Structure 1
Amino acid sequence: MGIIINTNVDSLKVQRNLNVATTQASKAMERMTTGLKINTAADDAAGLVISKGITTQQRGSEVAIKNAQNGINLLQTAEGNLDQIQNHLLAIHDLTLQAMNGGYSVEEVKAIENEVKARADEIDRLADGAKFNEFALFEKDTTKRPADFELVLQVGSDSDKSTNTISIKDVFKESTMSALTGKGTNANGVGSQSIAFTTGTGAAEKVIDRAGAGGFEAILDKIKDGIKEISTRRGDIGAAAVRLNAAVDNLNVQNENLQAANSRIKDADIAKESSEFTNKSILQQAGASLLVQANQAPSIALSLI
C-alpha cells in the first residue's frame, strides 16, 4: 500500500474499532450500574415488550394479594364480632333456663331480666358497630344494602370475573342480619311470678308464668335458632377464609415465577458484564495507543520530500 497524505485509512480503521470498544465498554458499565441488560428499547425491543407485559401481570398479582389479605382481615373482623354476639346469645340462653326455675325471688328474677337486657343491647351495639374500613359488616337496613348483597373480591391479575374474583354473600344474607337483632331476646319483668320476653318483631310476647315451661321453650327455640344461624355464618366465613388463603398462596407462587421469568429477560449478569467491561477497556487502551501511531504514519511522507 502506498504512502498517502490526504486519507489516513489506518487511522480511520483504528478510530472505528476504538469507537466500537468505547460504546461496548460504556454499555457494559451502564448494565453493571443499573443491574439491567435492557435499559432502552434499542437494547432488546422484543425483550422489553415481553418484560413490560410480565411486569404488568406481576403488579396485578401484588394488588390481588393485597385484596385477598384485606378480605381475610374483613372476615376475621366479622367472625370476631359474631363470636362475641354468639357468646351473648349463649349467656341469654342460660339465663332463660334459669328463669324457668321457680326457686328464684323477685329480686333474683329482676337481676336476670336486667342482665338479659344488657346483653341484648350489647348484641345490637356489636352488630351495628361492626365495621371494616367504614364498611358496615352487618347492615340491616335493606335500603342501604339489598337482602341479596354479594361482596366480590378481586383476587386475580386481570378482569376475567369467572377466574379472578371470589364472591362472599352468605355471610351477609338477610337471615344473618335478623339473628343479630338483640331486641329479639329482650326480657322484662312484669310481676312477682312472671317474666316476659319479646320476639324479633319488637312486640311483647305474652306474659309467661315461670311454672309453665311451654312459653319458655318457644323463647329458647328462637335463641337456639339465632345461635345456629350465627354458627352457620361462621362456617361460611371459615370456608371463605380458606379460599382466600389458598388464593394468596397461589398468587405468591405465581408472583415468584413471574419475577423469575422477568429477571431472566431484563436483569444483567454482573459477572459477564464485568468481564465484558474489562475486555473492552483493554481494547480502548490499545486502540488509543495505535491511533497515535496511525496518525503519525503520513508524516513519513515528509522524509521523502
Structure 2
Amino acid sequence: MVVSIKTNTSALVALQQLNAANRDLDEIQDRVATGLKVRNAKDDAGTFAVAQKQRADLDAYSAVAQSVQRGINILDVSIAAMETISDLVIEMKAKAVQAADPSLDNASRALIDADYQAFASQVSTIIDAATFDGFNLLDKNPPVPATDNLNVLSEPDADPTKAITVAAIDVKAITTAVFGDVTNLANAQTEVAALNTMLQNVTSALATLGGNSLRLSTHSNFVQTLQDSLTVGIGTLVDADLGRESARLQATQIQQQLSTQALQIANSRPQQILTLFQG
C-alpha cells in the first residue's frame, strides 16, 4: 500500500461520507420543521409542478364553493320570504272569505279591508326586503331579463356557459299587482278567486326555489368532495412522512458520528509516517 502525506484517500472518503450525512440531516430537519418533503422546485421539480397545479385547482374550487354558498344564501332568504308571503296570502284569503259573507254590510267590510290592505302592504315590504348581499331574486320588473337571473359558478374554469342559473321571479306580478279590495261583496268574491290562483302561484314558486336550493346544496357537497380529494392528493405528493423521517434521523445521526470518527482516524494516519524515519 502506498503511504503518502500528499493524498489521504481515507480522509477524503470519510469526509465525503460526513458531508453526505450532514446534507441528509439538513434535509430531515427541514422536512420535520415544515412537514413537507417537497417544499420547492429544488426538492423535486416534477412533483412540485404537479402539486402547484393542484393547489391552483384547489384555490379555484374554493372560489366556486363561495359562489355556490352565496347562491344558497340568496335562495334561503328568498324561500323564507316566499314562505312568509304564502302565510300572508292565506291570511288575506281568510279576510276575503269573511268579507264575502252576504250578511255583512259594507261598513263591516271596510274594517276587514283595513286588515286586508295591511297584509297586502306587508307582502310588498317582504318582497323588497328579500335581499342578500345586494341581490334580490324576487323583486324583478316584468319582463324579467336574463341578466336578473342568479348565475353561480359550477367549475374552476369559470365558463359562463356552465354556470348554474336560477331564474329570477317577478313575485309582485303574482301578488301585489293583482291585489284589490274587499270593501263590497262583489270585490270580496273576486278577491277570493284571485287569492286561490295567487296561492297556487306562490306555492309553485316556492317549489321552484326549493328545487334550486337542493340543486345548489348538492353541487356544494360535490365541490367539497373535490376539494377534499385535491387536499389529500397534494398531501400525498408533498407531505413528509414524519415517522419515516424520525427513523432516518436516528440512522443519519449514527452515520454522522461514525463518519466523524472515521475522519479522525484517517487524519491521524499521516502522523504514523514519522515513525518510519525515526532511528
TM, length-normalised to structure 2: 0.91
Are the counterparts in 1 of residues 18 and 259 from structure 2 also a CA contact under 8 Å?
yes
- 2:145 counterpart of 1:173: no
Q: Which residue of 1 aligns with 2:271?
A: 299
SS in 2 for 1:187: coil
Q: By how many angstroms is 1:62 displaced?
A: 2.6
AA at the equivalent of 2:231: Q
Deviation at 1:53, TM superposition (A): 1.1
Structure 1 position 237 matched with structure 2 position 209 = yes
Inter-CA distance 122–81: structure 2 relative to 1 (3 Å threshold): same
Contact between 2:124 and 2:172, CA under 8 Å: does it hold in 1? Answer: no
What CA RMSD, in Å, does the superposition of the two structures yield over aligned residues? 2.2
Partner of 1:154: 153
Structure 2 equivalent of residue 198 of structure 1: none
The 8 Å contact of residues 120 and 186 in structure 1, kept in 2 or not, is answered as: no
1:49-94, CA deviations, whole angstroms, 9 ceiling, x for partnerless residues?
Answer: 1111111212222332232222112111101111111211222122
The one-letter amino acid paired with 2:72 is I
In the TM superposition, 1:46-65 aligns within 5 A as 46-65=46-65
| Secondary structure of the corresponding residue to residue 152 of structure 1 | strand
Letter of the aligned partner of 1:291 in structure 2?
A: L
Q: Which runs of 5+ in 1 are unaligned?
A: 190-194, 196-209
Map of 2:257 onto structure 1: 285
Partner of 1:27: 27
Pick which of 219-228 and 94-103 moved more. 219-228
Aligned length: 277
For residues 185-215 of structure 1, the C-alpha deviation after alignment (integer angstroms, 9 at most, x for no partner) is 24264xxxxx2xxxxxxxxxxxxxx2xx5x5
Paired residues of 2:96 and 2:182 also in contact (CA < 8 A): no
Identity %: 22
**2:194 is matched with which residue?**
222
Show CA shifts across 1:278-302 (max 9, x none).
Answer: 1111110111111111111111222
Instruction: Report the AA paired with residue 32 of structure 1.
Output: V
After TM superposition, the score normalised by the length of structure 1 is 0.83
**Equivalent residue number for residue 247 of structure 1:** 219
For structure 2, which runs of at least 5 residues remain unmatched after alignment?
A: none
8 Å contact from structure 1 (residues 92, 185) kept in 2:
no
**Residue aligning to 1:139:** 139
1:58 and 1:147, CA in 2 relative to 1: closer, same or farther beyond 3 A? closer
**Contact 2:61–2:155 at 8 Å: present in 1 too?**
yes
CA distance in 2, matches of 1:276, 1:94: 80
- Structure 2 residue 178 is the aligned partner of structure 1 residue 184: yes
1:216 to partner: Cα distance = 4.3
Indicate conservation of the 8 Å contact 1:57/1:157, yes or no.
yes
Change beyond 3 A, Cα 1:150–1:134: closer
1:26-175 to 2 correspondences below 5 Å = 26-141=26-141, 146=145, 149-163=148-162, 165-169=163-167, 172-174=168-170
Contact map agreement 2:74 2:136 (CA 8 A) in 1: no
- Structure with greater proportional helix content: 2
Instruction: For 2:207, give the aligned amino acid.
Output: G
Structure 1 SS opposite 2:152: strand
Report what 1:8 is aligned to: 8
Query: 1:133 Cα deviation (Å)?
Result: 1.5
* Shift in Å, 1:219: 3.0
Change in CA separation of 1:147 and 1:265 when aligned onto 2, cut-off 3 Å: closer
Secondary structure in 1 matching 2:148: coil
Is the 8 Å Cα contact of residues 99 and 182 (structure 2) preserved in structure 1? Answer: no
